[in-house]
Amino acid sequence: MDKIYFNGMAFYGYHGVFEAEAKLGQRFYVDLELSMDLSRAGASDDLNDTVNYADVFHCVQQIVEKERYNLVEALTARIADRLLQAFPFSEVKVRVTKPDPPINGHYDSVAIEMSRKREGSA
């Protein structure tokens, strides 16, 4: 299956279980691996035979910046589900990275990754 990748999309959101996270917000990074048949687009060189990357970006941006979730798991699941609803992907893999969670310790970040398939896809 062909793939479209989005790497390192950066957004500012208000997700987390603590009051300060909901009030102050923080950065979130989103990476996508999107599966669909791109053979027609490769042959035609026509945007109508693929997805508009800007539409995908804005879909994710709306979720991260305009919605609110306590858990990064819920945010990640929402992105995956919405991408399958809005676009003709057969499978999506979504990774949401939270670089500054309120954990006392040394680490680069924490991340959640989820894969979802369209019903009926093999």
Catalytic sites, residue numbers: 98
Best CA proximity match to 56, nearest among 72, 36, 27, 73: 36
> What's the rounded Cα separation, in Å, for the pair 59 and 29?
14
Neighbours of 70 (CB within 10 A): 13
> What's the rounded Cα separation, in Å, for the pair 78 and 60?
9
The answer to whether the CB of 84 falls within 8 A of the CB of 46 is no
Q: What are phi and psi of 12, to 5 degrees?
A: -115, 120
Q: Residue 74: what residue type?
A: A
